[in-house]
Each structure stands twice: as C-alpha cells, then as structure tokens.
Amino acid sequence: MAKLLSLLIMFILFIFFFFFFTPTLSCPPECQKQALLQFTASLANLTDDDLKHWNSSSDGCLFPFVKCSSSNVVEIVLGDLNPYRTPWRVWTSTILTPLFHIRTLTVLDLSFNEIRGELPRNGFANLSRLEHLNLRGNHFNGSLPSQLFQLRFLQTLDMADNSFHGNIPPEIGNMTKLSYLYFSGNNFFGEIPTSIVSLKELTTLDLSFNSLSLEIPIEFGNLSNIDDLDLSYNNLTGIIPSSIQKLTKLVALNLINNMLTGEFPSWLFDMKNLTSLLIGGNNLIWNNSAKIVPKFTLSKLSLRSSGLAGKIPDWISTHKTLVHLDLRENQLEGTFPQGLAEMNFEYINLSDNRLTGSLPPQLFGFNLLVLSLSRNNFYGKLPSNISNATRLMALMLDGNNFSGKLPKFISNINLCLLDLSNNKFSSNTLPDFSSNVNLRIIDLSSNEFSGEISTNLFQTTFLSLGKNKFSSFPKNLTHMSNLEYLDIHDNKITGELSNSICQISTLQILILRNNSLQGSILDCIFNLTNLQILDLSINHLVGKIPTNLGNLTGMIEMPGEIFSRFGKYFATVENQVLDKLGNWNKAKRVMSFKTNDLIVNWKKSIQGLSIDNLKGYSLLDLSMNQLSSEIPASLGNLKALKIFNISHNNLFGRIPANLGDLKNLESLDLSHNNLSGSIPQSIANLLQLTIFDVSNNKLKGKIPEGSQMDTMNDPKSYANNSGLCGMQIQVPCSKQPLPTKPPELKSKETWFSWEGVGIGYAVGFFVAVGISYLSNSCKTFNYCSQQRRQRV
Ligand SMILES: *[C@@H]1O[C@H](CO)[C@@H](O)[C@H](O)[C@H]1NC(C)=O
Ligand SMILES: *[C@@H]1O[C@H](CO)[C@@H](O)[C@H](O)[C@H]1NC(C)=O
Ligand SMILES: *[C@@H]1O[C@H](CO)[C@@H](O)[C@H](O)[C@H]1NC(C)=O
Ligand SMILES: *[C@@H]1O[C@H](CO)[C@@H](O)[C@H](O)[C@H]1NC(C)=O
Ligand SMILES: *[C@@H]1O[C@H](CO)[C@@H](O)[C@H](O)[C@H]1NC(C)=O
Ligand SMILES: *[C@@H]1O[C@H](CO)[C@@H](O)[C@H](O)[C@H]1NC(C)=O
Ligand SMILES: *[C@@H]1O[C@H](CO)[C@@H](O)[C@H](O)[C@H]1NC(C)=O
Ligand SMILES: *[C@@H]1O[C@H](CO)[C@@H](O)[C@H](O)[C@H]1NC(C)=O
Ligand SMILES: *[C@@H]1O[C@H](CO)[C@@H](O)[C@H](O)[C@H]1NC(C)=O
Ligand SMILES: *[C@@H]1O[C@H](CO)[C@@H](O)[C@H](O)[C@H]1NC(C)=O
Ligand SMILES: *[C@@H]1O[C@H](CO)[C@@H](O)[C@H](O)[C@H]1NC(C)=O
Ligand SMILES: *[C@@H]1O[C@H](CO)[C@@H](O)[C@H](O)[C@H]1NC(C)=O
C-alpha cells in the first residue's frame, strides 16, 4: 500500500514537473541562449558586433530585444530590422526554427523584416504559451500552419501584409482568447468560417484586402465585444447581416469594395457608437428619398459608388466632427454645400460626380490634406485664399471647367501632387514653385496655359503639359535634376531645343510631338541614357539623325524595374498622405488619382499607354520632320525598341541591314522618304513585326521573305517605289520567278496562318490606371521622411 502511495506521489510529482517545468527542463536558459544566438546569427552581419558581445555574456536575457521572467525568455521583439529597405541577404522563414525551442515565449514580434517563404509546419505547437504573435509586413507565403491554431492563449494574431494564401480554417474558432486578429493584405480566399463568431473576446477583426468570398456569416452579431470590423476589399456577397446591429460597441465598420447587395441597412444610422462608417463600393440599393436622422456622430464616412443621387445629403453637413469624407463615384448634383465647406476636413473626395458651381473659399481650411474633385462640372476661378490650406498635399481638380490664372500663393502650399488637367486654366506665367521641395507630380495638360514653360519646379519628377499653348521651351533646365517624365505634346513651341535638356540624365520619357521646333536634333542627346520613349514627331526639325542616338542605353537594354516606376510615384505620394492622415492601415487607396494616359503614335494609331504600366514600351518617333541624312547604322543598337518611326522626312541612302538587329521591334515605319536600294534581308529577322511600311521611297528589288515578312502583304506598305517585287505584292521578281504550283499554294497558306500570329502580337494598352495597393515602402525616395514603422 505504501509502495502504491509513494508511486502515486511520484506520479503526481511527475505530472507537476511535467506541466510546470517542462519548458525549462527541455530547454533551460543556456539552451535558450544558444537558440537566440543561432537565430541572431542568421540575421546576418547587422548584428556582428552584438553577436560577439552577446555570445560572451552569460545570459540570453541580456539581449536587448529580449525580456525574461525568472531566467526564461518570454518576449522577443525584433521588428523592422532593415528600416531603409536596403537590399540585404534574403531571410527565409527557416530562421524561425531555433525559436521553437524557447517554449516559454509569450510575445513574438518579427514584424516588417522582409522574411520570405512558408512558415515551418512544425514548431508553433511548442510555443503553447504564446499570447501575442506579430509577423506583419514580411513576405511569408503558403498557407498558415495548422499548429498555429492550437495556440489557445493567443490574444493577438497579426499576419497582415504578407502573401499567405488558402482558406481561413474553421479551427480559428478554437482560439477563444483572441482579441486582435489581423489577416489583411494577403491572398486568403474562400468563405469566412462561421466558427469565427465564437471568438467572444475579439475586439478587432481585420480581414481586408484578400479574396474572401461568399456571405458574411449571419451570426456576426455574436462577436459582442467587437469595436473595429474591417472586411473591405474582398469579394463578399449577400446582404449585410442584420445581426451586426447588435454590436453596440462597434466604433469602426469598413465594408468598402465588396459585392454586397440588398438595401442599404437603415439600422446602421442607429448605431450610436459608430464614428467611422466606410461602406461604399458595393451593390447596395440606396433609397435616395429616405429621411435620415443618424444617431451616430461620425469622423469618417465613405459612401463611395453607392448610387447616391441628387444633392449632397444634408445630414452629412450636420456631422461637425467629420474629417474624412469620400463620396466619389456617385451621381451627386448641385453645388458644394456651404455648410460642408466650413467644416474642418482633412480629406475630401468627391470625384466622379456631377457637382457644379464655384468652390467656396472656406473649403481651404488649415487641416485640409487631400482634396479631390476630379471629373465634375465645377467652374470659376480658384479662390485666392487657397494658400490658407497650408498643409494640403494633394490637389486634384482635373476634368472640370475651372478657368483663370492660378492664384499666386498656390506656391505657398507644400503640395506633393497637383493635377489640374482638363480644365480651362490660362495664364502666361506659372507660379514660382521653386521652394516647393515636395512637388513631384504636376499635370497641367489640356488647359490654355501659354508663354514660356517655367523651370522653377526643382523637385518635379513628372511634368505633363501637353495640349496647351506654351510657346517657348525653357532655356535653362539645369534645375530640374529629378525630371523623369516630360510631356509637352500639342503646344506651340518654336525655336530650337536648349542644350540644357541633355543635362537631365534622369529623363526617361520625352514627348515633344506636334510643336514647331526648329533646328536639328541635339548631338548631346546621347547623354540621356535613361531615355526610353523619345517622340519628336510633327515638328520642323532639319539636319541629320545623330549617330549618337544609337548610344541611348535606355533603348538598348531590356527595360527593367525602372520603367514601371511611375505607378509607384503615385503610390508613394499616397503613402505620404496616409502617413499624415495617420491611418495607414485603414484608408488604403484613398486618393483615386488617375493619371492621363501617355498618348503616342503606336502602330499607326494614336493610343494611350497606361503610365502605371510602361514597362517594356520603348519608342523612337522622329516622323514628320524635315530630317535629311542617311539612317545611321548605329540605330541597330537600340535593341529594346518596339516602335521605330522615321516616316515623312527626307532621309536618303540605303536601309541599314543593322535594323534587323532590333529584335523587339513591332512597328517599323520608313515611309515617305527618299530611301533607295533594296530592303535588306535582315528585316526578316524581326519576329515581332506587325507593322512594316516602306511606301513612297525609291526602293527596288525583292522584298525579303521568311517568318513575319510573309505576313507583311499589304500592298499599300510598298506603294510608290522604284520597282519592288515579291510574293507580298504579287509581283514576280524577274530574276527569281515566283515558285509555281504546289509551293505557291503552300506560301498562300502560310500567309493566312501568319496573319493570325500577327494579331496575336497585339499588346493590350488600356490597362486601368489607378493607385494600386502597394505594400512597398516610400523609402526609395528620400523626400519622403515618414517611416512605415509609424504604422500601428
Ligand atoms: C558562441 O561562442 C561559442 C564558443 O565561444 C562558439 O562555439 C559558438 O559558435 C558561438 N556562437 C555564435 C552564434 O557565434
Ligand atoms: C552585410 O553583408 C553583405 C554580404 O553578405 C554585405 O553586402 C553588406 O554590405 C553587409 N551589410 C552591413 C551593414 O554590414
Ligand atoms: C520543441 O521543443 C523541444 C524541446 O525544446 C525540441 O526538442 C523540439 O525540437 C522542438 N520542436 C521543434 C519543431 O522545434
Ligand atoms: C514561397 O516563396 C518561395 C520563394 O520565396 C517559393 O520558392 C515558394 O514556392 C513559395 N511557396 C508557395 C506555396 O507559393
Ligand atoms: C478545433 O476546431 C475544430 C473545428 O472547428 C473542432 O473540430 C475541434 O474539436 C476543435 N478542437 C479543440 C481542441 O477545441
Ligand atoms: C473577385 O472578384 C473580382 C471581380 O469580380 C474577380 O476579378 C476576381 O477574380 C475575384 N476573386 C476571387 C478570388 O474570386
Ligand atoms: C450566437 O448566439 C446565439 C444566441 O446567443 C446562439 O444561440 C448561437 O448558437 C450563437 N451562434 C454561434 C455560431 O455561436
Ligand atoms: C457604446 O459603447 C460602450 C462601451 O464602449 C457601451 O457601454 C455603450 O452601451 C455603447 N453605446 C451604445 C449606444 O450602444
Ligand atoms: C484665411 O486665413 C486668414 C488668416 O490665416 C483668415 O483671416 C481668413 O479668414 C482665411 N480665409 C478664409 C476664406 O477662410
Ligand atoms: C542655369 O541655371 C543654373 C542654376 O541656377 C546656373 O548655375 C547656370 O549658370 C544657368 N545656366 C545658364 C546658361 O544660364
Ligand atoms: C551629361 O549629364 C551629366 C549629368 O548626368 C551632366 O553633368 C553633363 O553636363 C551632361 N553632358 C552634356 C553634354 O550635356
Ligand atoms: C557610342 O557608342 C559607340 C559604340 O557603339 C562608341 O564607339 C562611342 O564612343 C559612343 N559614343 C558616346 C558619346 O558615348
């Protein structure tokens, strides 16, 4: 019996030890220290000195990013190790492995470290005491390991802004202590598991920016502690469950951009605690005649594309606490309500409505950061007190009927982005923006500006001035050392190009089409090594095509990352604004800034290229000038070119065989010149060619055959020459008669089939422009001082 008793005591002791001391026994402090060292060693040289120091110290608890409790490591907080996003070695998810030995951990925060790869399948079960897990802002992919859902004590689970995919498993309902759940900005799909409603402690649920579909679980109202619910930017369907009205603690509700249907729930207006209601971009039916007396007091409201018609609802103006208002993409009419203008907005977006009238001066209050009234029918002058809005960062008034001069004091505003395109603004001197160090994006295209183009735009990267009446090109462009995009097409610019343009070596896109430029193409143009698109067509340029053009590196190398940057500028500006708005997570895609397409002559028709997606578009257009020289053989270097147009000039001599090296060429237009000799056989090497025009020259001899050339059989492309022959134009060459009978049949067949291929090469252009949700940081640009770590 005593034996049995002692056995029992031993057993109880064993159980006791097992449950209480197992973690320390299986990995005592020294083992924990070694695990930490192993982990930090894998974090590369960043911590080399520290490592030595730590290794010699006796205790892992002395590591600066660690907290201990009775000699056991309980917290590891090591986020944002590479704040400037300098390229380092790649960290993979295997660096987590040593940490799974530290079974005493309650807090693990490795957010914003750019760790990639899948989370280890095994290991999380070891961290059974974990209460807070933050892996936000890395590049983790794959699905979530099932062991994660065994962590019963977890209160915070932050997996936002990674690349996780897969379903959210129903086991999530087992984590009953969960208070904060962030899964936003991943690729989760499938339904929201109903089991999620058993998370009674949940106060914040953010599943935004995924691909979740099907209906919101009808019992969402069981989440009785929730105060912040964000399901925006998913594919959710069905109605908004009426059980949500039971959530009396709800302060912020964001359902923007789903596919929710049904009538707009009027009970929402009775939810007294709500301060942020973002619900636009669904298919809800809005009862425009309903009398609304809201019981909440909002600071943020979005009813974006919600079918609102008529005047801006009166009840909105009664919310004096409103700082953020997004009513874009509705059918709102009438003028800007005076009451609304007198409020203290930070952010107003009323773009894409039918609003009219002039702008009330009171609108430009001190707090305003973003004002977007794009694509309405507003008119009149800009109020002269516009500079009262000294904090304004983004002003988007494009697509209205504004007129008059720009108020002089507009330059007192520290703007980042100014889009006044498609209005009737006129003046022959632009304001002096020389002290506006943040003004990176300026679009004044399609207005009536005239005079000399101002160069007092020191930091501007993107300058779009097309379709105005500017008459002279700036003499001194030395200041504009950041310019990458300069578009001045369809103006009235006369005189010669200034040599100083050759100093802007950042320039990637230069469009001067349809002006009255004189003189010759500058020899120094080779200095613009980043130039990817050069359009000097429809001017009065004379002289030769400089041999130097063949040295334009931007047209030689296959365009890389650099060419898709413009989309990022807009995202960058947006990030800056969001940093100021202080709600980076909550208001992604707030700007709705749409750039005008880049208009060029692409394959014989004027086309718009989406500026967001210029990667791979390289173009050289010198057509419709009076250039007279031979075609320099060096142009064969420009291997990245897709479009090459030198038609309608006085070029003479032979077509250089080197043009056959332009392997990416899709369109080659040499028509309306004085070119002589024959078409070089090398042209048949251009396998991407879909447009080929040599008409109106003095060419003779056999048109090359083989591959794409067999499809180039439009007689108009060869008309008016001095004796071209070949199967393409059904003119037999005398020396080499067309093969008869079976071969001819065969070649006819080939023409047909190749035509299909030709069509296949067409590239889609009108890719939607919009600010995409980019999780990349703004740190690439030094002007943006705000750091991403300031996010929640
Ligand atoms: C720590 O030091 C020991 C011996 O001093 C060495 O064997 C070990 O590799 C070191 N660990 C790291 C991570 O540097
Ligand atoms: C870290 O090491 C890499 C090579 O592994 C090196 O290129 C880089 O400059 C180092 N960084 C620092 C901050 O020492
Ligand atoms: C879990 O912890 C134990 C004890 O420290 C260790 O032996 C085991 O390797 C750990 N499991 C994983 C997957 O790291
Ligand atoms: C995760 O990313 C790595 C590269 O970082 C890749 O090799 C792997 O295939 C990806 N896994 C999944 C499931 O996409
Ligand atoms: C976890 O959840 C699943 C599915 O919801 C359930 O079948 C299982 O019993 C749960 N496990 C525990 C330990 O509660
Ligand atoms: C979500 O909806 C959009 C628009 O209908 C569709 O293009 C997309 O494929 C959908 N995504 C998923 C994962 O269903
Ligand atoms: C939601 O709450 C109701 C009432 O409290 C309960 O009957 C129901 O089972 C709950 N649903 C879920 C899925 O937990
Ligand atoms: C607002 O929330 C508080 C708790 O935060 C709660 O006590 C109160 O009842 C709520 N008000 C309403 C009207 O539901
Ligand atoms: C602009 O600001 C000045 C002083 O800061 C103020 O006196 C004036 O009333 C403001 N104008 C408007 C229209 O708000
Ligand atoms: C152009 O402007 C720069 C900077 O103000 C100045 O240093 C330079 O002398 C100017 N060049 C000419 C030709 O006027
Ligand atoms: C070429 O560009 C550099 C700046 O990258 C500039 O300093 C130099 O003056 C330019 N050369 C010519 C000929 O314009
Ligand atoms: C242009 O490239 C050619 C080689 O293609 C080279 O000989 C010449 O020096 C280059 N010219 C300049 C100005 O870089």
Rounded to an integer, the average pLDDT of 163-176 is 92
Q: What is the reported pLDDT for 434? A: 79
CB 409 within 8 A of CB 387: yes
Q: What does each C-alpha distance from 540 to 225, 324, 494, 537, 688 come to in angstroms?
A: 72, 51, 9, 9, 31
29-41 and 48-56 are packed helices; what angle lies between their axes, rounded to 10 degrees? 170
Q: How far is the CA of 410 from the centre of ligand 8 (A)?
A: 45
Q: How confident is the model at residue 790 (pLDDT cuts 50, 70, 90)?
A: very low
| pLDDT at residue number 629 | 94
Q: Which ligand is nearest to the CA of 367?
A: 9
Whether residue 710 has pLDDT greater than 90: no
Residue 235 has a pLDDT of: 93
Test site for ligand 6: of 167, 209, 235, 257, most ligand atoms within 8 A of the Cβ: 235
pLDDT of residue 24: 47
Q: Angle at CA 757, nearest 5°, toward 751 and 758?
A: 85
- 662 versus 416: the higher-pLDDT residue is 662
Query: Residue 655 and residue 678: Cα distance in Å, rounded?
Result: 8
pLDDT surpasses 60 at 18: no
The amino acid sitting at 76 is I
User: Which protein residues touch ligand 5 with a CB less than 6 Å away?
Assistant: 170-171, 173-174, 195
CB distance 96 to ligand 3 below 6 Å: no
pLDDT score at 457: 66
Ligand 10: which residue has its CA nearest to atom 10?
Answer: 476
| Beta strands in 358-501, from DSSP E residues, in sequence order | 370-372, 377-380, 394-396, 401-404, 417-419, 424-425, 441-443, 450-452, 462-464, 469-472, 485-487, 494-496
Ligand 2 closest atom vs CA 46: 13
Ligand nearest to the CA of 226: 8
More confident residue, 52 or 158: 158
Ligand 2: which of 47, 81, 88 to mutate, most ligand atoms within 8 Å of CB?
A: 88
Checking if the pLDDT of 496 tops 60, the result is yes
pLDDT, residue 547, reads: 92
- Classified as helix, coil or strand, 751 is helix
**More confident: 249 or 744:** 249
Amino acid (one-letter) located at 241 = P
Question: With 0-12 CB in 10 A as exposed, 13-18 as middle and 19+ as buried, what is 686?
Answer: buried
Task: Among the bound ligands, name the one nearest to the CA of residue 547.
Answer: 12
Q: Is the pLDDT of residue 624 over 60?
A: yes
Count, residues in the chain: 792
> b/e per residue, 375-395, with b = 16+ CB within 10 A?
bbebbeebbeebbbbeebbbb
Minimal-distance CA residue to ligand 12 atom 4: 551
156 CA distance to ligand 5 centroid (A)?
19
Mean per-residue pLDDT for 733-738? 62
Instruction: Look at residue 4 in the predicted model and tell me its pLDDT.
Output: 59
Token representation of residue 197? 């409603």
Q: Is 276 helix (H, G, I), strand (E, B) or coil?
A: strand
Average pLDDT, the chain: 80
Task: Give pLDDT, residue 58.
Answer: 61
pLDDT of residue 578: 60
DSSP state, 446? Answer: S
| CB of residue 295 inside a 6 A radius of ligand 8 | no
Residue 355: pLDDT above 90? yes
- Candidates 357, 394, 277, 255; CA nearest to 324 is 277
Query: What distance in Å separates the CA atoms of residue 38 and residue 26, rounded to the nearest whole number?
Result: 17
Q: How confident is the model at residue 86 (pLDDT cuts 50, 70, 90)?
A: low
For 223-237, write each residue's pLDDT tens digit.
999 999 999 899 999
Residue-level pLDDT at 461: 84
Return the best residue to mutate from 228, 268, 273, 276 for the ligand 8 pocket (most ligand atoms within 8 A of CB).
273
Which string of DSSP letters, residue by residue, matches 488-509?
A: --SS--EEEPPGGGGG-TT--E
> Which pair of structure tokens corresponds to residue 554?
């931007």
The closest alpha carbon to 517, from 486, 540, 484, belongs to 540
Position with higher pLDDT, 404 vs 707: 404
The residues near 682 (Cβ < 8 Å, ≥ 6 apart) are 657, 658, 659, 660, 661, 704
Ligand 7 center to 586 CA (angstroms):
29
Q: What is the pLDDT of residues 145-156, one digit of tens each?
A: 999 999 999 999
| CA-to-CA dists, residue 296 to 222, 315, 321, 581, 658, angstroms | 22, 11, 11, 22, 72
How far from 765 is each of 130, 514, 617, CA to CA, in Å? Answer: 50, 22, 10
DSSP string, 509-566: EEE--SSEEESB--GGGGG-TT--EEE--SS--EEPPPGGGGG-GGGTSPP-GGGGHH
Which of 385, 384, 317, 325 has its CA nearest to residue 353? 325
pLDDT, average across residues 755-784? 26
pLDDT at 785 over 70: no
Average pLDDT over residues 503-512: 89
User: Span 262-275, mean pLDDT?
Assistant: 89
Q: Is 466 within 8 Å of 619 (Cβ atoms)?
A: no
Question: How much distance in Å is there from the Cα of 33 to the middle of ligand 3?
Answer: 15
Q: Average pLDDT in the 520-528 region?
A: 90
Please report which confidence band the pLDDT of residue 573 belongs to, taking 50, 70 and 90 as the band edges: low
118 lines ligand 4 (CB under 6 A): yes
Sign of CA dihedral 149, 150, 156, 159: negative
Q: Which of 351-355, 577-581, 731-735 has the lowest mean pLDDT?
A: 577-581
CA of 240 to the centre of ligand 5 (A): 27
Q: Is 114 in the pocket of ligand 4 (CB under 6 A)?
A: no
Model confidence at 428, in pLDDT bands (50, 70, 90)? confident
| pLDDT of 783 strictly over 50 | no
pLDDT tens sequence across 313-348: 888 888 788 888 999 989 999 999 988 888 888 889
Among 51-65, 169-183, 422-436, 612-626, which is the least confidently predicted range? Answer: 51-65
Side chain identity, residue 117: G
N-term to C-term CA, the chain:
62
* Average pLDDT for 459-481: 84
Lowest mean pLDDT among 60-69, 115-124, 364-373, 649-658: 60-69
Which pLDDT band, with edges at 50, 70 and 90, does 753 fall under? very low
Per-residue confidence band for 35, with pLDDT thresholds at 50, 70 and 90: confident
pLDDT in tens, 284-299: 888 766 777 888 888 8
Report the separation in Å between the CA atom of 263 and the middle of ligand 1, taken as the mean of its atom positions: 66
DSSP state of 482: T
pLDDT at 400 over 50: yes
243 lines ligand 7 (CB under 6 A): no
Is the pLDDT at 762 greater than 60, yes or no? Answer: no
Ligand 11 atom with minimal separation from the 500 CA: 14
Q: Which ligand is nearest the CA of 477, by number? A: 10
Confidence of residue 768 (pLDDT cuts 50, 70, 90): very low
- Please count the other Cβ atoms lying within 10 Å of the Cβ belonging to residue 741: 7
If you average pLDDT over residues 365-393, what whole number do you get?
A: 90
For 249-359, strand residue ranges (E) read: 252-254, 276-278, 300-302, 309-310, 324-326, 331-332, 347-349, 356-357
In this model, does residue 408 exceed pLDDT 60?
yes
Average the pLDDT over 536-546 and give the result.
94
Q: What is the pLDDT of residue 585?
A: 40
CB-ligand 10 contact for 478 (6 Å cutoff): yes
Average pLDDT of the segment spanning 485-513: 90
State what percent of residues in the chain have pLDDT above 90. Answer: 37
SS3 177: coil
More confident residue, 604 or 433: 433
Is the model more confident about 189 or about 103? 189
Contact call for residues 188 and 210 (beta carbons, < 8 A): yes
Q: Whole-angstrom Cα distance, residue 188 to residue 172? A: 14
Q: To test ligand 9's pocket by mutation, which of 362, 385, 390 has the most ligand atoms within 8 angstroms of CB?
A: 385
| DSSP per residue, 621-671 | E--SSEE-SPPPGGGGG-TT-SEEE--SS--EEEPPGGGGG-TT-SEEE--
Q: CA 610, 612, 617, 621 torsion: positive or negative?
A: positive
pLDDT category at 771 given cuts 50, 70, 90 is very low
Pocket test for ligand 8, best of 225, 268, 272, 274 (most atoms within 8 A of CB): 272
Least confident of 173-182, 443-452, 673-682, 708-717: 708-717
**Helix/strand number for the chain, H first, E second:** 7, 51
**pLDDT reading at 565 higher than 80:** no
The band of 506, judged by pLDDT with boundaries at 50, 70 and 90, is confident
Under DSSP, the state recorded for 263 is: B
- pTM: predicted TM-score of the whole model, two decimal places: 0.77
Contact 105, 74 (CB under 8 A): yes
Which atom of ligand 3 is nearest to 27's Cα?
5
Provide the pLDDT for residue 735: 63
Q: What single letter denotes the amino acid at residue 486?
A: L
What's residue 188's pLDDT? 94
Least confident of 169-183, 411-425, 548-562, 676-690: 548-562
Task: Say yes or no to pLDDT of 562 above 90.
Answer: no
Report the atom number in ligand 12 closest to the C-alpha of 526: 13
Residue 55 CB-half CA count within 13 A: 11
Q: Long-range contacts: 748-753, Cβ < 8 Å, 24+?
A: 750/710, 751/710, 751/711, 751/713
